[in-house]
Chain A
Amino acid sequence: MQNTDEDNASLRAVPDDKGHFGPYGGRYVAETLMPLILELEKAYNEAKADPAFQLELDDYLKHYVGRPSPLYYAPRLTEHFGGAKIYLKREELNHTGAHKINHCMGQILLAKRMGKKRIIAETGAGQHGVATATVAALFNLPCVVYMGELDIERQRPNVFRMRLLGAEVRPVKSGSRSLKDAMNEALRDWVSHIDDTYYIIGTVGGPHPYPAMVRDFQSIIGRETRQQLMEAEGRTPDSLVACVGGGSNAMGLFHEFLDDPSVAIHAVEAAGHGIATGMHAAALTGGRAGILHGMRSYFLQNEDGQIQEAHSISAGLDYPGVGPEHAWLHDNGRVSYVAVTDDEALDAFQLCSKLEGIIPALEPSHALAYVGKIAPSLPRDHLMVVNLSGRGDKDIFTVAERLGVQI
């Protein structure tokens, strides 16, 4: 290494070869899985260096997923807030309705390349499960999706979607019966089916190489954004805003811009009923460092190191941890992590629907709610890009119930 000057060190050159983002990340898995994740890392590095793999991925992203997703100037939201010029990165227009398909496409091609015969995944909101079931159908591979019982109740449309796509949805009854428990169950499945199974993790979490690999597959969001904004405005954005559950859509947008010091970056966690109530899903704002699901990162936990349940109206943000790269970007201050409540997200959900004719998912509604807090006081020439990570069709039942509407 020639460059030892800290100030010049690229924020995009992580993780190291052991999967560490500063003190975070790593490979905290049982020995049974260790050889498997080493094999995965090797296969991923080879695929990454193989132009044929990238060409095949690009082809599917263009013709099957529908990329590039538009970067849309949102005039009425901009007018409503009366400050920053707001652009929406329309990931909700991807096939299956969210950004999750980006990393599923990459991972299924990798699984195929590795000769795997069976796909498993965990899901919270069901968006990652739907995206996984979709690519598994496309490549004719049997697929099992683990989903907490609680999430099955509140995301019924997605459960039915997964079944239509031919996947088996296995309800998880253990622990808090939501995303973290689904991930435990998927890991248990993986150790029990080591020979033929590929585990498609749904966020920038889990043991190395998943956080880096999922980020790489998602970073197309930021690369497109840079180019599209250059075409529209002739310059880079002034700020970025994205919601953070595990952190995949946020890393996807942010990664391209980490070394652009003029770009302010805001990541929005779910504050649930409010951070002070303890009923939230904000691992960085309200948790502390720990080890779970193969990684060192931030987690909600009690004083004895027992992981606590997360609370959010949004099933996709209802995870008590966060990807390790976010933990690192939090500690080094490059990204500012904030949190918005269920109620604030609900308001933003309705506002975006009415003003722009776009029903956002509850997850990016958190990002939109934060936009509402900072945009008004920013100048009119401030260019702000918000990652609209998914569409809200899956959430209409939850929202209707919260609003006391019978449908």
Chain B
Amino acid sequence: MAEPNRIEARFTKLREQGRKAFIAFTTAGYPNLGAYPLLLEKLPAAGVDLIEIGVPFSDPMADGPAIQAANNQALREGITLAKILDMVRDFRTKDNETPIVLMGYYNPIYSYGPMRFLDDAQKAGVDGFIVPDLPPEEDEEFRVPAAARGLRVIRLVTPTTDAERLPTVLKDASGFLYYVSITGITGSASAEAANVKTNIDAIRAQSDLPIAIGFGVNTPAQAQEMAALADGVIIGSAIVKRISAHLDDYGKPSATMLDDALTFVGDLAKAVHG
């Protein structure tokens, strides 16, 4: 096993404190290139334990309308993978502990050049990646060189991952496990606690990795309910929607956007932390 990185350090610390992790997803460059770093910088103080940065893609197949729209706007604003790494580098000058995971589709990474990207991401201070269109069957070419650089490729477990398949997903998993609580796209439905519990228990029986629940969690009440079932809760679409409510027809944010988004993030954090 490689050196522990910020992800393991954070989950270990939270476990010692008996706390659950609140993982906030936001779309890089959304609502614009100027506002995003300000949001990013304030997430830890608002109670975010692990930051998930969405890397915009023209064709976000696993995402619902809210994140699709955020992707499009961020791309129009001119976001690129290189700019996202710059934002992480700046963030690291102020915060060297909060883990950062980039979540994005494989093509922009492939286009950048996976090895060069891994080198640059490591130098910028990224800790891991969630690549939804890179299942275990295809992730070796990225996962192995990532691990060699101390970076984690987070595996996803879903309601369709049956008992026969689960070992395939857990083998070579690292960092934490992302439990996708619904069968659907981001922000579409809400998870059913009873179903989630059964599946989380099945994963627990076979893995010691921390488990975070995401995709179907939209409100503080749901966040609280899900936190009781796992080691962490991931919330994305709800935050993105909160930001989008502040945009005018031209995508320009209101003056209160940042404060309101952070207040909402704070409420979610409180719900997760209990």
Interface of A with B (CB < 8 Å)? 18, 26-36, 38, 174-175, 180-181, 184, 187-188, 191-192, 194, 289-294, 299, 301, 303-308
Contacts and interface: CB of A to CB of B under 8 A. Distances in A.
Contacts of A36: 160
A275 B188 CA distance: 40
Nearest to A38: B165
B75 interface: yes
B66 interface: no
B157 A31 contact: yes
Contact of B61 (A18, A30, A299): A30
B57 interface: yes
Given A35-B161, A304-B81, A26 B62 contact: no
A28 B138 contact: yes
Nearest to A20: B138
Contacts of B134: 28
Interface of B: 57-62, 64-65, 68, 72, 75, 80-81, 105-112, 132-138, 155-162, 165, 169, 180, 183-185, 188
Nearest to A187: B61
Contact of B180 (A29, A31, A174, A175): A31
Contacts of A192: 183-185, 188
Contacts of B158: 30-32
A30 B59 contact: no
Given A28-B133, A35-B165, A301 B107 contact: yes
Contacts of A293: 59, 61
Contacts of A174: 65, 68
A32 B68 contact: no
Given A188-B64, A294-B133, A305-B108, 13 more contacts: A30-B62, A31-B132, A31-B135, A31-B157, A31-B158, A34-B137, A188-B61, A188-B62, A191-B62, A192-B184, A299-B107, A305-B111, A307-B59
B188 A26 contact: no
B245 to A, nearest CB: 20
B133 A291 contact: yes
Contacts of A30: 61-62, 132-133, 135, 156, 158
Interface of A: prevailing SS: mixed
Contacts of B185: 188, 191-192
B211 to A, nearest CB: 14
A35 B107 contact: no
A293 B65 CA distance: 18
Contacts of B180: 31-32
B107 A29 contact: no
A174 B73 CA distance: 12
Given A27-B138, A29-B135, A187-B61, A306 B75 contact: yes
- Residue of A31, A35, A301 with most partner-chain B CB within 10 A: A31
Given A35-B165, A301-B107, A304-B81, A175 B156 contact: no
A205 to B, nearest CB: 13
- Residue of B61, B155, B162 with most partner-chain A CB within 10 A: B61
A184 B161 CA distance: 22
Interface of B: prevailing SS: loop
Nearest to B108: A305
A34 B165 contact: yes
A17 B156 CA distance: 23
Contacts of B156: 30-31
Contacts of A27: 135, 137-138
Nearest to B157: A31
Given A28-B134, A28-B135, A34-B137, A184 B61 contact: yes
Given A31-B158, A184-B61, A191-B183, A305 B137 contact: no
**Which 3 A-B residue pairings sit nearest by Cβ, starting from the closest?**
A305-B111, A305-B108, A192-B184
19 contacts: A26-B138, A28-B133, A30-B133, A31-B157, A31-B180, A32-B180, A33-B160, A34-B135, A35-B162, A35-B165, A187-B61, A188-B62, A191-B185, A192-B183, A192-B185, A194-B160, A304-B111, A306-B75, A306-B108
A303 B112 CA distance: 8
Contacts of B107: 290-292, 299, 301, 305-307
A194 B158 CA distance: 12
Nearest to B69: A174
A172 B13 CA distance: 46
Contacts of A187: 61
A28 B81 contact: no
A184 B110 CA distance: 19
A30 B134 CA distance: 7
A174 B81 CA distance: 22
A299 B59 CA distance: 12
Contacts of A26: 137-138
Contacts of B188: 192
A278 to B, nearest CB: 16
A43 to B, nearest CB: 16
Nearest to B184: A192
Contacts of A308: 58
